[in-house]
Amino acid sequence: MNFFSSGPNLEKQVFDLKLTSKQFDRMSAKSTKQEKAELLKVKKEMEKGNMDVARIHAQNAIRIRNTATNYLKLASRMDAVAARIDQAIQMKAVTKQMGGVVKGMDKALKSMDMEQIGKVMEQFESSFENLDLASATVENALGGATAASMPEAEVDELLDAVSAEHGLEIANKAAAVGKGAVQMGAAADEHDDALEKRLQALREGAM
C-alpha cells in the first residue's frame, strides 16, 4: 500500500468538514422552524375553510421537512468522513487516492452544493474501503426528496394530523381527492393523547 505524509492540507480538510457539517445542522434547524410556520398556516387556512390553500401550505411543510432531513443526513455523513480521515492520519494509513480527493474538497465545501459535496463524500468513502474503515456507502444525501410535487397521500395525512391536533373536522374526509369544507369542532378528550402521538409520529417519519 502506498503512503504519504498527511501534511496540513488533509488536517485542514478535517476541520473544514466539521465546520461545514455544523453549518448544515444550523440550516436544518432553520428549515424546521420554517416547517412549523407552514403548519400554522395550514391550521389557519383550514379554520377558514380554504382547503386548496391549506393543501399548498401542507405541500410546503413536507418539502421543507424533507430538506431539513437531507441537511441532517449530509451533516452526519460529513462527520463520519472527518472521523475516518482522523483515524487514517493517526494510523499513518493515508493513501494517495485519499490525498487526491482532497484537491476537490475545497471547491465543494465553498459551494455548499449538497450534490457536489455528496459526490466528494462518495470518493472519500471509496478510498476508505481498502482500509476497512468504511461500512456500506451512506444513503444518497439528496434521497430524491427535492422533487417538486409531494405525494398526495402524504399531504392528506398531514392535513388530517393538523385537523386532529387542533380539533378541526374535515367534511368529505374520505374523498379520494381530499377536498371538502372545514368545520370547527371539539375533539373528544379521550382521543387527545392518540392524536398528539399521531402528529408526532408524522413529524418524525422523515428522520
Q: What is the pLDDT of residue 10?
A: 74
Q: Rounded CA gap, 23 and 17, in Å? A: 10
What does the DSSP 8-state code read for residue 6? -
Cβ atoms of 68 and 35 closer than 8 Å: yes
pLDDT tens per residue across span 83-126:
887 877 766 655 555 555 666 666 777 777 778 788 777 777 76
- Residue-wise pLDDT for 30-77, tens only, equals 999 999 999 999 999 999 999 999 999 999 999 999 999 999 998 988
**pTM of this prediction?**
0.54
What is the Cα 35 distance to its own chain's centre? 12
Q: What pLDDT, on a 0 to 100 scale, did the predictor assign at position 59?
A: 94
CA 174 to CA 187: how far, in whole Å? 18
- Residues 165-203 have pLDDT tens digits of 777 766 445 444 444 434 434 444 445 565 566 666 666
Residue type, 52: D
Cell 484537491 locates to 103
**Three-class DSSP labels, 115-160:** HHHHHHHHHHHHHHHCCCCCCCCCCCCCCCCCCCCCCHHHHHHHHH
Q: Taking a C-beta distance cutoff of 8 angstroms, is the pair 111, 72 a contact?
A: no
Residue 127's pLDDT is: 64
Grid look-up 462518495 returns 122
Residue 167 one-letter amino acid = G
Question: Would you kindly state where each structural domain of the chain is located, as residue ranges?
Answer: 7-42+50-129, 152-204
